[in-house]
Structure 1
Amino acid sequence: MPRNKEFDYDEKLEAARNLFWRKGYNATSMSNLEEAMQINRSSLYMTYGNKHDLFVKSLVNYIAMKDRQYNEAAEKGKDPLESIANIITSVSKSAIQDKNCLFTNAVFEMALSDTKVNQLLKQQNLKAVGVFEKLLKQAKEQGLLNSDKEPRLLAHFLVSSLVSIYNTHIVFGDQKLTQQTTEILIASIK
């Protein structure tokens, strides 16, 4: 008779996610994962698969967490442009607080060499583009957006610029510069 698992799946996945988030994929060893998750290697493999499988699950978990964060930020907006500004501000606050981003790390560390990770990142980017595009179209219809730019193209620009907020904070560690970068990005859509 197989042993029952004596740990919380999501809690251990979060521990792995946080380790990958902090160290990156390549710098994280199976021993590091065992220690951070506080489970033995056989339980890790049986429950989560190999290191790559665990990373993918961690990335999916991280993306879901960020989706919730951005949806909550957007819902607080009184109009579409304020919703966009709230999302961008939410990213800036995360960059300052967390000082890192698993999504951004995965873009630069794995997107070119790992098809599965690239697919997840592309899917999430397109989802975010869709959210921004919808809000930009609403803003145009309501006369709030005077830009002559195509909403889909502007949405792509906004999504790629979110990574620049993390990049600025990771590289320079300057809260004021990160906030100024955020303000410039928000001003670019008005």
Structure 2
Amino acid sequence: MARPKEFDRDEAVRRAMGVFWEKGYEATSTDDLLRAMGIGRQSMYDTFGDKHRLYLEALQRYQAESAASLMERLRAEDSPLAAVERVLMAIASESAAERARGCMGVNAIAELAQKDAEVASVSKSAAMTCEAAFERVVQQAKRRGEVPPSVDARQAGRFLLNALQGLRVTAKAGAPPAALREVATFTVASLRAR
């Protein structure tokens, strides 16, 4: 009879996610993961298969949680453009350590997407979800007169996702909060109806 698992699988994935997010895929060793998850080597292999499978599960969880958080923040304001601005400004408000850590999704794209089809697929799916969320908020902003009718909501959604990802990279590279706020302000102003 198989022995029941002696650890919380969801918590183990969450802890692994933290290690991958902090160190990246290549720099994370199996021992790093085992220490963080508090499980033995055989338990890791029996439950997750290998480091790569565990990484994909952690990345998928990160992307799902990030997308849910983005959608929640985009609905949190009466003004669609104010919601977009708050999302972008939040990066400048993070601590220096949070900015240096970056976004696990963006980190995965930079580190692995060109050489790992599964990571590329997870990243593409997450990008499509976030683009669609931004597209919807731009459509709402157009209906409210905050964005000119001539703005293509789909293109604007892609633009906003790229602005968000660019801010993440710029923050990780050490840009000061004031510079990040300038970029966020300019991004929103470029969409605003005049």
**TM-score normalised according to structure 1 size:** 0.91
Match of 1:119 in 2: 121
Counterpart AA for 2:55? F
- Tell me which of 171, 175, 180 is aligned to 1:178: 180
Match of 2:130 in 1: 128
In the TM superposition, what are the counterparts of 1:98-109 in structure 2 within 5 Å?
98-99=98-99, 100-109=102-111
Match of 2:54 in 1: 54
Match of 1:32 in 2: 32
Report deviation, 1:130.
Answer: 0.9
Report deviation, 1:24.
Answer: 0.4
- The change in CA–CA distance for 1:44 and 1:91 in structure 2 (over 3 A counts) is same
Computed over aligned residues only, the root mean square deviation of the Cα atoms, in angstroms, reads 1.8
Deviations 1:69-121 (A, max 9, x none): 21221121103222322332345445856222110110101111111111111
- The change in CA–CA distance for 1:15 and 1:188 in structure 2 (over 3 A counts) is same
Counterpart AA for 1:158? L
In the TM superposition, what are the counterparts of 1:57-68 in structure 2 within 5 Å?
57-68=57-68
- Whether the aligned pair in 2 keeps the contact of 1:15 and 1:36 (CA below 8 Å) is yes
- Whether the aligned pair in 1 keeps the contact of 2:91 and 2:180 (CA below 8 Å) is no
Matched, 1:139 2:134: no
Q: How many residues align?
A: 190
- The change in CA–CA distance for 1:177 and 1:147 in structure 2 (over 3 A counts) is farther
- The change in CA–CA distance for 1:95 and 1:121 in structure 2 (over 3 A counts) is farther
Cα distance in 1 between the residues matched to 2:181 and 2:97: 12
- Whether the aligned pair in 2 keeps the contact of 1:13 and 1:58 (CA below 8 Å) is yes
- Whether the aligned pair in 2 keeps the contact of 1:19 and 1:28 (CA below 8 Å) is yes
Cα distance in 1 between the residues matched to 2:171 and 2:109: 16
Counterpart AA for 1:30? T
Identity %: 29
Deviations 1:23-77 (A, max 9, x none): 0001111111111111111100111121111011000111122123212211211
Structure 2 gap segments, 5+ residues each: none
After TM superposition, the structure 1 stretch with the greater mean CA deviation from structure 2, 58-67 or 75-84, is 75-84
Counterpart AA for 1:171? A
After TM superposition, the structure 1 stretch with the greater mean CA deviation from structure 2, 114-123 or 85-94, is 85-94
**TM-score normalised according to structure 2 size:** 0.89
Cα distance in 2 between the residues matched to 1:88 and 1:147: 23
In the TM superposition, what are the counterparts of 1:72-83 in structure 2 within 5 Å?
72-83=72-83
SS of the equivalent of 2:61 reads helix
Match of 1:148 in 2: 150
- Whether the aligned pair in 1 keeps the contact of 2:67 and 2:129 (CA below 8 Å) is no
Report deviation, 1:9.
Answer: 1.0
- The change in CA–CA distance for 1:63 and 1:94 in structure 2 (over 3 A counts) is farther
Structure 1 gap segments, 5+ residues each: none
Counterpart AA for 1:56? L
- Whether the aligned pair in 1 keeps the contact of 2:167 and 2:180 (CA below 8 Å) is yes
